Structure 1
């Protein structure tokens, strides 16, 4: 272990202790920088070189960590952070096979146990003995802290502007939060050591050999799939008839509304897509492999099944669009549609692998997942939900009709939705923004824990303040009306 790795690890722990107490935003990127440097120094000391794909995974992970810095909503930020951890594990360990892509995080978890012991050995090697090294470090930290406190307090007392600058820039290190700060310090140190140890001694998942399945007879393999293809074709034919014949005739015959028709089918079609992927995986495992004829049979049957599944994906998305027209857009609905679209992309990649080979498929699926999560976070789902529901509110209110708007749900959205909700007319605007405005007014997080979505929302609310006088009863009445409408 090089001294640079130790310093980068210490910097990660200190930044975690000072910056991560108030939430996640830019501070997550600031903590990730020294942790990445620790991995780089440890990998170089172990004789590893950074390959092009490792840079791709690493840059992708850093890009995903920008989502909490841009968006106030917690749910896309959580998804982005989890995906960034997965990409980081692939960057640290490398690999191009399915075990390397799917099992990468296990190697990092193993380093969580081995990393601290490895770091302690490196600390003893660099400083001679543990007692002397710890003593030198503690004395240096104590002297530094005393100098900063004494001179910082004197300068703050001499000038009010400098005192305000210190209060804005310095993280909160109050005694009341001492135990939690210690926990953050330990987590930062352990995390950085785990990352560095993984870079120095990666798990070689590419060496894991997945035994091939026993090939089946053509009839035994193809007959169930051909029957399934016929079933898919019949369902898709009905979908096309309904599409060109019009939904009205079908709905009138079955006595259904648009919303009932969409709700009845979307979840079933989503499950169909997932099950089809499983069928393709197991079919490839047991596919006949005796010659060119068998390969052509596999490509023809599975390619047809995948093509028909894409029509099912389109039908599911169309049904959800109908359901949104009837009841509005929500977080669950936008999430499952995004998931369905990604499953459709995976099916396209499988079809391409059947033509050009499957060597690149694991990496392509991982890249598509990371790109989808990043795009999902950057497009700001809460803002998209608010914008779509505001548009629906305006469209349904035309011609003297009663507009449809879920006020209670709008009040649950994050600060990312403020720009779209700001377009509403009073009193609906003030009612929809009241909860967000109250949260922002009582939120005093420092700059490094504040997202760009919160900053933008504060600017909008400052330039166009809410009209709150006498609106409490009006908002309550509107919420009740919308609930029973």
Structure 2
């Protein structure tokens, strides 16, 4: 049945506007906004920033400007302390509780910043700093799931702009309502700083020993460093405020839920994995044959040399380990899950694959060990070996999760802890020192060494290289000594490795007079070919 049309005059008399949309009509509520993943993770506006957080952020900025301009060492840990307090004060003011995992992430991040204070090498320092930022983001967000573990660092960048606005509003409110309370505090700080400067200068002029003490403790800031110091001040302030804003109102990454894949039929899911298990079993059987039967038989059958057999297989086995983790992740997504029989099938097939993969990891590490015995240790070799070790640990954690349950084991957090612990151990063992130690041992055993590679290591390698006989010792230490000579880095920017190296070099010195110090690259028997020159330290 058709309805009679209503003319515009009748609509106007009824109080409706002819051209107004339905949602704008009186008495009608607008439809709720469409929820997206971005709106779902957005937090509520935080409470006003506390005064303690503002002062801690200012202290972070000042220390960043004074200490970080001379290099990295203990100063990074010193700056991190007020930054941590800034986040703590903001979290407490927002009503967030400090949970055990928050303490784990926070203490772990601070522990990683010990690496720059101990080691002179830049590459473990870089890894430690990046990992410390990652753990700090986990502490601020309190993430538990895979999206939270992976995306938490982006929450820090998201808080940079809002953190500055949040701090400015809090500062303006306090300055406007303080009625003269801010000015006395600023005057007190100015008077205290003036007294320290005046009397400190007088005492320094009266006693040379006191002047040396003050000179070693107080940063040397010149006018020409002004722009750089201002940049460091701004970075410290922005970073501390971003951490505080994140602690007060973190993005809710854990609200992102990954949809489980459509479960497959048992045969469709299990058959490819069983075939893969058979392939792994056949490969591992060959590895056991090599282990018990010796390498001579395999080398005679394959035509490979000892070093080629060790070097050729490592990268393939590393990639095999990585791809196996991908296969396990995809298999869990599409695994059948109808009942106890399906759970038993999944655990049996994937557990067997994990066990066989551990044998592959052991084979890869054995090959690397053989190659290092033949050609020495390098930064690349120690890095990929450490990576392979960590992948093996991840596989063990996956097996444990299959036994006790991923939720009970807290698998995402456990893997994140293992990665951070691996980076910390990697930095504490001093990779450059380990490289030098293994190569010195190889020289003592075989008489072969590559001075052209070792003289490019950091000061962490000096204690081991100091054991070499002359002129190899001086040739290996020449470039390191040159980099340390005349470097007046303040105490807070000097690593323990650099301090120890200076003491050794000052005590024994180096002498390269009468020696060319050309890089020694020793050919090892039939491993080299006149048509195929292979640098033993390229890999």
TM-score tier, shorter chain, comes to over 0.9
1:109 is the counterpart of 2:109: no
Count of matched residue pairs: 476
Match of residue 76 from structure 1: 124
Contact 1:123-1:130 within 8 A present in 2 as well = no
1:180 is the counterpart of 2:224: no
- Between the aligned partners of 2:234 and 2:146, the Cα distance in structure 1 is 33
Matches within 5 A, 1:273-352: 273-352=321-400
TM-score (norm 2): 0.85
Match of residue 459 from structure 1: 503
- Between the aligned partners of 1:220 and 1:351, the Cα distance in structure 2 is 23
Match of residue 291 from structure 2: 243
Contact 1:67-1:77 within 8 A present in 2 as well = yes
1:430 is the counterpart of 2:470: no
Deviates more, 1:126-135 or 1:250-259: 126-135
Match of residue 412 from structure 2: 362
Instruction: Deviation per CA, 1:125-177: give whole Å up to 9, x if none.
Output: 22117999998787666655544443333332232222222221111210111
**Cα shift at 1:218:** 1.0
Which of residues 100, 119, 123 in structure 2 aligns to 1:52? 100
Q: CA RMSD in A?
A: 2.0
Task: Give the 3 Å change call, closer, same or farther, for CA 289–481 of structure 1 in structure 2.
Answer: closer
Deviates more, 1:138-147 or 1:338-347: 138-147
Matches within 5 A, 1:13-24: 13-24=61-72
Instruction: Deviation per CA, 1:195-253: give whole Å up to 9, x if none.
Output: 11111111222222111111011111111111111111111111111111111111122
Structure 1 unaligned residues grouped into runs of 5+:
397-402
Which of residues 379, 397, 403 in structure 1 aligns to 2:429? 379
Match of residue 449 from structure 2: 405
Contact 1:26-1:450 within 8 A present in 2 as well = yes
2:361 is paired with a residue whose SS is: helix
Task: Give the 3 Å change call, closer, same or farther, for CA 465–262 of structure 1 in structure 2.
Answer: same
1:253 is the counterpart of 2:301: yes
Matches within 5 A, 1:432-451: 432-451=476-495
Deviates more, 1:203-212 or 1:123-132: 123-132
Contact 1:124-1:133 within 8 A present in 2 as well = no
Which of residues 91, 96, 110 in structure 2 aligns to 1:43? 91
- Between the aligned partners of 2:404 and 2:521, the Cα distance in structure 1 is 58
2:70 is paired with a residue whose SS is: coil
Match of residue 470 from structure 1: 514
Match of residue 200 from structure 1: 248
Instruction: Deviation per CA, 1:316-362: give whole Å up to 9, x if none.
Output: 11111111112110000000000001001100110111110001111
- Between the aligned partners of 2:355 and 2:309, the Cα distance in structure 1 is 24
Contact 1:96-1:206 within 8 A present in 2 as well = yes
Task: Give the 3 Å change call, closer, same or farther, for CA 318–29 of structure 1 in structure 2.
Answer: same
Contact 1:107-1:202 within 8 A present in 2 as well = yes
Match of residue 458 from structure 2: 414
TM-score (norm 1): 0.94
Contact 2:450-2:521 within 8 A present in 1 as well = no
Match of residue 27 from structure 1: 75
- Between the aligned partners of 2:494 and 2:179, the Cα distance in structure 1 is 40
Which of residues 252, 274, 281 in structure 2 aligns to 1:233? 281
- Between the aligned partners of 2:230 and 2:184, the Cα distance in structure 1 is 20
Task: Give the 3 Å change call, closer, same or farther, for CA 133–189 of structure 1 in structure 2.
Answer: farther
Contact 1:157-1:163 within 8 A present in 2 as well = yes
- Between the aligned partners of 1:134 and 1:181, the Cα distance in structure 2 is 26
Which of residues 263, 275, 284 in structure 2 aligns to 1:215? 263
Greater radius of gyration (CA): 2
